[in-house]
Amino acid sequence: MILKKIRFFFLFFLVKPLFLYSQTPILGAESFGIASYYSSKLYGHKTANGEILVKGDLTCAHPKLPFGTMLEVTNLANKKWCIVRVNDRGPYTKKRILDVSHAAAARLGMFKSGLAKVKVTIVGEHNTVIISKPDVILENSIELNKSEEEDKIKIFVPSSKPKAKSKKKNSKKKAVTKKKTTNNKKKK
Condensed to tens digits (0 to 9), the pLDDT of residues 35-86 reads 999 999 999 999 999 999 999 999 999 999 999 999 999 999 999 999 999 9
pLDDT level of residue 6 (50, 70, 90 thresholds): low
Is the pLDDT score of 167 beyond 80?
Answer: no
Q: What is the 3-state secondary structure (H, E, C) of the chain?
A: CHHHHHHHHHHHHHHHHHHHHHCCCCCCCEEEEEEEECCHHHCCCECCCCCECCCCCCEEECCCCCCCCEEEEEECCCCCEEEEEEEECCCCCCCEEEEECHHHHHHHCCCCCCEEEEEEEEEEECCEECCCCHHHHHHHHHHHHCCHHHHHCCCCCCCCCHHHHHHHHHHHHHHHHHHHHHHHHHHC
Which architecture does CATH list for 25-131?
Beta Barrel (2.40)
Query: At 144, is the pLDDT very low, low, confident or very high (cuts 50, 70, 90)?
Result: very low
Question: How do 128-129 and 115-125 pair as beta strands?
Answer: antiparallel
Instruction: Return mean pLDDT, the chain.
Output: 77
Instruction: Report which of residues 70 and 188 the model is more confident about.
Output: 70
Where do the domains of the chain lie? 25-131
**pTM confidence score:** 0.61
**CA 49 to the chain's CA centroid:** 24
